[in-house]
């Protein structure tokens, strides 16, 4: 009952006129970002972040959370109708969704995607509410060694899940940590990597890294590719902008698929750095392997739509658990939401449940309301949402660049920040071209100061005894898991090489 009482307070907060308007704007923007060519969910949330500076912390979090939730569904529409995945997470969905469109079952495919998004989103929201406080209560007993171990685990997870090349991921992470160390040391007051440049003494804002790498970098990548995009005609020449829901008996017959996909989506979402894309692919693979109709996946089977979309939406609630309970973002979008917390002077973690309980419950309520609003918007707004695909991608990209530079300049009114964002835009383009993952770079910039602060605090508190990280049970266990996660890809690659080289 206490949980329901707290949640009711959160709903009361978002039902005020201003917050309700912000929620609606966030849902619409999230859908548009997912549908527009050349934009991604993370990029859209990044572009919205500078506009939250003058907002209160609650409206800012409502806006970004609503965009995050709606963005996980919008790409499903173009994937099913036009075989254009709005996000990487929508790739498994189109394997069956677009196949159903080719078979003349577009309306039913859209209906299955909406049902799957609703079930995955609501169940994960319930799990989020039930898990976040207990995890935070446990985290309250942690000291600086445990928090350093948790942040290290988050960085290690991002590295191992960010791409096929562990070396490239480590290079990206180390560069992010290097960027985070620029400026004046918070413990000893020493200058680091400033090279006598005055504005570098204040450090490089993680916002500049995110907006430059994701926003400008993606525009440069699309420009180099000649702005591919546009909405091809459906096979019959006229898309069916209509949604037909499956019968209740059909939904109940697929309860095992819903359960498998939603549970896997939640747990993968909790892993720092995994996010909706990994959840979608994992759930699709599980369904293909263990589902009753697994062999039919890829031929227009509704199970493929349900598995991919339920898991992708369920990852949202899962990603908020480590963010709110421990201050570790579970996905790229929650990393931006973490930035919004920090920009408003609030550090997510166990203390936020004590210092700002209403704010936490507002986020909880936003997830519930966002899932419902996303489904309503997805049902009624298919035709106008798909119309935006007619916009030339070059024009959309020009607006993206303008928003990036305006947002970067608005934070500190410093022209030097414009040069920084341009540099990281070029870096983001080079990372994409040479297949270096961006997530370790960005999260290294955000989590680097947290790791350094907890490490230095531990050294001061325990007389420079570094073995304390391994002798304390919780921190030692977490660091052991981190080491196993980093070594497993190496061991797997070595085993594959030995098998290839061994004589048969």
Helices (H), 327-415: 332-343, 352-355, 357-380, 382-387, 393-412
Q: What are phi and psi of 187, to 5 degrees?
A: -95, -50
* Cα angle, residue 334 at apex, residues 317 and 472 outer, rounded to 5°: 85
Q: Are 346 and 356 in contact (CB under 8 A)?
A: yes
Q: Are 175 and 159 in contact (CB under 8 A)?
A: no
Q: Are 482 and 152 in contact (CB under 8 A)?
A: yes
Question: What is the C-alpha separation between 152 and 416, in angstroms, rounded?
Answer: 31
Q: Are 329 and 446 in contact (CB under 8 A)?
A: yes
Question: What is the C-alpha separation between 350 and 47, in angstroms, rounded?
Answer: 28
Instruction: Please report how the helices 393-412 and 41-48 are oriented relative to each other, as an axis angle in degrees rounded to 10.
Output: 40
Tokens standing for residue 108: 């039913």
Which pLDDT does position 161 carry in this prediction? 57
Per-residue pLDDT of the chain (504 residues; tens, 9 = 90+): 667 777 888 888 888 999 999 999 999 888 888 776 556 777 788 888 888 877 888 999 999 999 999 888 887 887 787 666 666 677 788 788 888 887 878 888 888 989 999 999 999 999 888 888 887 777 667 778 887 887 787 778 767 655 567 788 889 989 999 998 998 887 777 888 888 788 888 888 877 887 788 778 878 887 887 766 544 444 444 444 567 788 888 889 888 999 989 998 888 787 665 667 767 877 887 887 778 877 788 788 888 899 989 988 998 888 888 888 878 777 778 888 888 888 888 888 778 887 888 888 899 999 999 999 988 888 887 767 666 556 677 777 787 788 778 767 766 777 888 888 899 999 989 988 888 888 788 778 877 887 888 898 898 888 888 899 999 988 899 899 888 878 877 777 788 777 777 665
Instruction: Please report how the helices 106-139 and 57-82 are oriented relative to each other, as an axis angle in degrees rounded to 10.
Output: 150
- Neighbouring residues of 261: CB distance < 8 A, sequence distance ≥ 6: 116, 120, 283, 286, 287, 306, 307, 308, 310, 311, 314
* Cα angle, residue 70 at apex, residues 330 and 121 outer, rounded to 5°: 65
H or E element: which one contains 492? helix 473-501
- Rg value, the chain, Cα: 22
Is the entire prediction scored with pTM above 0.85? no
Which pLDDT does position 210 carry in this prediction? 74
CB atoms within 10 A of CB 209: 26
Phi-psi region of 189 (alpha: psi -120 to 50; beta: other; left: phi over 0): left
Tens of pLDDT, residues 341-358 = 888 888 887 788 878 888
Q: Are 291 and 260 in contact (CB under 8 A)?
A: yes
Tokens standing for residue 418: 């414009």
H or E element: which one contains 158? helix 144-161
Residues facing residue 183 across a β-bridge: 192
Which pLDDT does position 38 carry in this prediction? 54
Tokens standing for residue 232: 């091809």
Which pLDDT does position 432 carry in this prediction? 84
Q: What is the DSSP letter of 213?
A: I
Which pLDDT does position 21 carry in this prediction? 94
Q: Are 344 and 155 in contact (CB under 8 A)?
A: no
Place of tokens 């994701």: 214
Q: Are 271 and 331 in contact (CB under 8 A)?
A: no
In a 10 Å sphere around its CB, with 0-12 CB exposed, 13-18 middle and 19+ buried, how is residue 289 labelled?
exposed
Question: What is the C-alpha separation between 389 and 351, in angstroms, rounded?
Answer: 44
Phi-psi region of 298 (alpha: psi -120 to 50; beta: other; left: phi over 0): left
Q: Are 319 and 330 in contact (CB under 8 A)?
A: yes
CA dihedral 233→236→241→244, nearest 10 degrees, is -140
Question: Considering only CA atoms, which of 266, 277, 255, 342 is closest in space to residue 61?
Answer: 342
């Amino acid at each position: 009952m206490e949980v329901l009482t707290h949640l009711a307070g959160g709903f009361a907060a978002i039902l005020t006129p201003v917050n309700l308007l912000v929620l609606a704007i966030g849902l619409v923007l999230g859908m548009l970002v997912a549908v527009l060519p050349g934009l991604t969910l993370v990029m859209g949330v990044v572009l919205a972040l500078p506009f939250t500076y003058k907002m209160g912390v609650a409206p800012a979090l409502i806006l970004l959370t609503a965009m995050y939730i709606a963005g996980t569904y919008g790409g499903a529409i173009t994937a099913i109708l036009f075989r254009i995945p709005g996000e990487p997470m929508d790739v498994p969905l189109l394997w069956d969704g677009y196949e159903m469109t080719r078979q003349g079952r577009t309306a039913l495919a859209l209906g299955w995607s909406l049902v799957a998004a609703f079930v995955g989103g609501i169940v994960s929201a319930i799990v989020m509410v039930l898990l976040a406080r207990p995890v935070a209560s446990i985290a309250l007993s942690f000291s600086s060694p445990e928090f350093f171990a948790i942040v290290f685990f988050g960085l290690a997870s991002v590295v191992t899940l960010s791409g096929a090349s562990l070396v490239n991921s480590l290079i990206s992470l180390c560069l992010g940590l290097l960027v985070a160390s620029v400026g004046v040391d918070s413990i000893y007051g020493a200058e680091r990597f400033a090279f006598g440049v005055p504005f570098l003494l204040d450090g490089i804002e993680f916002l500049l890294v995110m907006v430059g790498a994701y926003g400008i970098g993606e525009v440069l990548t699309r420009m180099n590719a000649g702005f591919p995009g546009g909405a091809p005609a459906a096979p019959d020449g006229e898309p069916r902008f209509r949604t037909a829901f499956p019968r209740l008996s059909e939904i109940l017959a697929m309860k095992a698929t819903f359960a498998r996909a939603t549970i896997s989506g939640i747990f993968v979402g909790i892993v720092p750095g995994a996010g909706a894309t990994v959840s979608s692919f994992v759930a699709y693979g599980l369904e293909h392997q263990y589902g009753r109709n697994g062999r039919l996946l890829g031929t227009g089977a509704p199970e493929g739509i349900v598995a991919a979309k339920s898991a992708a939406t369920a990852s949202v609630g899962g990603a908020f658990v480590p963010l709110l309970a421990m201050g570790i973002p579970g996905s790229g979008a929650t990393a931006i939401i973490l930035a919004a917390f920090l920009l408003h002077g609030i550090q997510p973690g166990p203390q936020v449940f004590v210092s700002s309980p209403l704010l936490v419950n507002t986020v909880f309520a936003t997830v519930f309301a966002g899932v419902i609003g996303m489904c309503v918007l997805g049902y009624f707004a298919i035709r106008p949402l798909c119309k935006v695909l007619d916009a030339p991608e070059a024009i959309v990209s020009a607006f993206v660049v303008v928003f990036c530079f305006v947002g970067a300049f608005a934070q500190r009114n410093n022209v030097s920040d414009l040069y920084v964002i341009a540099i990281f835009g070029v870096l983001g383009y080079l990372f994409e071209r040479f297949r270096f993952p961006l997530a370790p770079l960005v999260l290294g910039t955000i989590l680097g100061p947290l790791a350094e602060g907890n490490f230095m605090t531990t050294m001061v508190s325990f007389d420079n005894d570094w073995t304390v990280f391994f002798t304390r049970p919780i921190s030692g266990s977490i660091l052991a898991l981190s080491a196993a996660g980093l070594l497993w890809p190496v061991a797997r690659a070595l085993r594959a090489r030995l098998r290839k080289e061994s004589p048969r």
